[in-house]
Chain A
């Protein structure tokens, strides 16, 4: 697919945020906070970094693949997939409703293009991405595998099984990103279960770790992802610590765990949409 310029990416991000809010508002259910926080990452990935084909084939041979481990941020993924042409944007209005392909958490059973495995139960996506990366190596397929995890999700044991495995097996066609927003359902991560020095932990496990300090600044996110790609093929998997703010883009949602899993009211939606330019046309 054609790579968008930074300016185009920013415009797309504004529209994706509108989509997220309208989807969650319509069904009064879903997870807007981290969806808004990861919008720059998803837009930069799908509209600039990923070598992918929106004529979806699950095998993804020769393509770059993306796996979402923290499946609850499905709104941002669905919006970006639709805006990339995987399916019609009109389908976004079916999010979380009966008989929809847009399940609350991503699933393959309903055949939504762009989704290769179910996620939602946390801690599993990195293992899946590593497996997919190794399968590409067996085939001599030069596609890169991307994964996104939450930071609260770092509390799951399986993450560290996978963290130990990938460097041991030199899985160096993999870029895993952690949405480092410092929040989880019950509050700040350092109150709920302190992650302490996440960077040192991943480095100690043998990963090449980079920090993207401005995870809601399109130039920084893009630069981080571009730099990550240059580190591939050197015997180590790459970890991108993406420092984001939950709820970014809407003044009353930003920087708090309170919007992890609740929907805006009619008034709140109107207020939020007033802060986000409609750049590509609402669905």
Chain B
């Protein structure tokens, strides 16, 4: 159904964002000998195998011991190494929050916490692994940069960009095959929102996998004569508040779309920006204070109200509140 729509961005193939991370890490490792990798028994899932093979002396298998991994990474960063830790998003955040807080964020260590299998689209493994709170936990930490790219190409570009950025970073990506709709030669600027589609009636601020859903929603809205602006917020923190305020000043209302709880996510950050500067109607597409469950990514996004159709409904509601 999506393919028959006249979307402003299109794709010919799909890949998982975690492969974007794996390929980006390999490139970063080739460019900078200080890049080191650590993984907690998920080398295949995180796509870190190519880096491990090419740089065995700069790769550390930690076993199923995520707390230790965060401490090791902090320690390695002291003499100038740039450690990239790899495990699932759940075990990259909640399980090791205090280690990140004290040894990495408070201590301003140049550690890149790379987190796969985030959100509902993890799928069949169910709620124990589907973290929907990680953006909130990470953005609350002072000194932490929080990035949630949307497809393979953007994740690869983001991975290479964070290697060149000094300071702690949380990089969130996922498991499912997803449309590759952004350019392979894109420049990734941390903290800089990307206006993908211009519009005048409503702004859709989307992050991660839901950027594609926003692109689809824009086409659907256009068919109904509604002009939506789509802005890709790949960096949750620091947030590009200028881009948000400029867009909403023009459109007068917005929708935020993310694979995360309402609480603590992108929606919260956008709402705070608007309330402080230019209050405007905002609708939230996200998970409403619940855990996930087993299912296919598509079924889960539909059941929990996170797909393009839900963005369309939310956009109309926001426009109606102007």
Contacts and interface: CB of A to CB of B under 8 A. Distances in A.
Contact of B78 (A119, A132, A169): A132
A132 B288 CA distance: 42
Given A158-B67, A162-B71, 11 more contacts: A65-B78, A116-B78, A118-B107, A126-B71, A127-B103, A130-B68, A135-B78, A135-B80, A141-B79, A157-B67, A161-B68
A232 interface: no
Contacts of A108: 106-108
Given A121-B98, A127-B71, A131-B72, A60 B78 contact: yes
Nearest to B74: A128
B65 A164 contact: yes
Given A109-B108, A121-B102, A127 B75 contact: yes
A39 B7 CA distance: 70
Nearest to B83: A131
B141 interface: no
A58 B103 CA distance: 15
A147 B60 CA distance: 21
Nearest 7 interchain pairs by C-beta: A127-B71, A131-B75, A161-B68, A161-B65, A131-B72, A128-B75, A132-B75
Contacts of A162: 68, 71-72
B58 A138 contact: yes
Given A126-B71, A164-B65, A118 B79 contact: no
20 contacts: A58-B78, A60-B79, A117-B74, A118-B103, A128-B103, A130-B68, A130-B75, A131-B75, A131-B76, A131-B78, A132-B75, A134-B76, A135-B75, A135-B77, A138-B57, A158-B67, A158-B71, A161-B63, A161-B67, A165-B63
B99 interface: yes
B36 interface: yes
Contacts of B57: 138
Contacts of B65: 161, 164-165
A61 interface: yes
Interface in B70-108: 70-81, 83, 98-99, 101-103, 106-108
Interface in A149-186: 157-158, 161-162, 164-165, 168-169
A227 to B, nearest CB: 25
B161 interface: no
B109 interface: yes
Interface string B248-289: 000000000000000000000000000000000000000000
B85 to A, nearest CB: 11
A59 interface: yes
Interface string A105-144: 0011100000011111101111111111111101101000
A124 B106 contact: no
Contacts of B108: 108-109
A135 B71 contact: no
* A123, A126, A127 interface centre (most CB from chain B within 10 Å): A127
A119 B101 CA distance: 11
B107 A107 contact: yes
Contacts of B81: 135, 138
Interface in A53-101: 58-61, 65, 67
Contacts of A60: 78-79
B62 interface: yes
Contacts of A141: 79
A132 B36 CA distance: 13
A174 to B, nearest CB: 10
A139 B76 CA distance: 11
Contact of B73 (A58, A121, A131): A131
A124 B106 CA distance: 13
A69 to B, nearest CB: 9
Nearest to B103: A124
Contacts of A127: 67-72, 74-75, 99, 103
* B36, B63, B70, B107 interface centre (most CB from chain A within 10 Å): B107
A123 B258 CA distance: 35
Contacts of A125: 71
B102 A119 contact: yes
B109 A117 contact: yes
B109 A134 contact: no
Contacts of B76: 131-132, 134-135
A109 B80 CA distance: 18
B80 A59 contact: yes
A191 B99 CA distance: 28
A63 to B, nearest CB: 10
B51 to A, nearest CB: 15
A135 B103 contact: no
Nearest to A129: B75
A221 B60 CA distance: 34
Contacts of A139: 79
Contacts of A117: 74-75, 78, 103, 107, 109
